[in-house]
Amino acid sequence: MHILTVVSHPREDSLTMDVTKRFIEGAKEAGHTVELLDLYREEFQPVLFEKDEPDWERTDLHYSPVVLQEIERMKRADGLAFIFPVWWYSIPAMLKGYIDRVWNYNFAYGSERLPHERIQWIGLVGASEQQFEKRQYDRLIHYYLNIGLSQFVGVSTSRATLLYDTLSGGTEDERNAWYESVLERAYITGKEYGTFTSEQPLMDRL
């Protein structure tokens, strides 16, 4: 499978970027090919202006050159992956803007749906899993990513993997061990890309 992997992080030396590299290694190990879209390094402009506003009366794709180019990049892929830090219990504005502009009317919804077989979301979370479960932020994010985004654009095989405790302390040894475990999890997530099943049952319980 050819996977378009979209990453959103302002810093190249971030944990998010290390996770991305390990995810790609795992995916390649499983036989996939990967195209990386690094939104910050490519200086993607996330604000939707008039040219990319959906025109409900038109059926052609009439958007700005950048958006048409990104639509073509998406069409080259069989599957999608998105890797980002969780900011305010959601995706960062950069990634939100990419979706606003590129997942546009009559390509991702309207007369068409996305052609992709599956979507893997990986969010890095500062808080612990227990803190998230306590207020059901995990469900909020899973619901938003799997149903609000993936399913809305026609991709029912969708999985959201949250990597917790990115800001927790501990001794240097504990931090190093934790870091390795996060990267290992990213690698396994990449290896499992072609075989994971939909998280839909979790959604049904809401």
User: Residues interacting with ligand FMN, by CB under 6 A?
Assistant: 9, 14-16, 85-89, 124-127, 166-167
DSSP string for the chain = -EEEEEE--S-TTSHHHHHHHHHHHHHHHTT-EEEEEETTTTT------GGGS--TT--S----HHHHHHHHHHHT-SEEEEEEE-BTTB--HHHHHHHHHHS-BTTTBTT-----SEEEEEEE-SS-HHHHHHTTHHHHHHIIIIIIIIITTT---EEEEEE--TT----HHHHHHHHHHHHHHHHHHHHTTTTPPP-HHHHHT-
Closest CB 96 distance from ligand FMN, rounded Å: 13
Which position's Cβ is nearest ligand FMN?
126
Query: Given the complex with ligand FMN, which of 149 and 153 has the nearer CB atom?
Result: 149
Closest CB 168 distance from ligand FMN, rounded Å: 10
Query: Given the complex with ligand FMN, which of 31 and 148 has the nearer CB atom?
Result: 148
Query: Given the complex with ligand FMN, which of 15 and 81 has the nearer CB atom?
Result: 15
Query: Given the complex with ligand FMN, which of 16 and 146 has the nearer CB atom?
Result: 16
Closest CB 85 distance from ligand FMN, rounded Å: 4
Query: Given the complex with ligand FMN, which of 130 and 195 has the nearer CB atom?
Result: 130
Closest CB 46 distance from ligand FMN, rounded Å: 15
Closest CB 203 distance from ligand FMN, rounded Å: 21
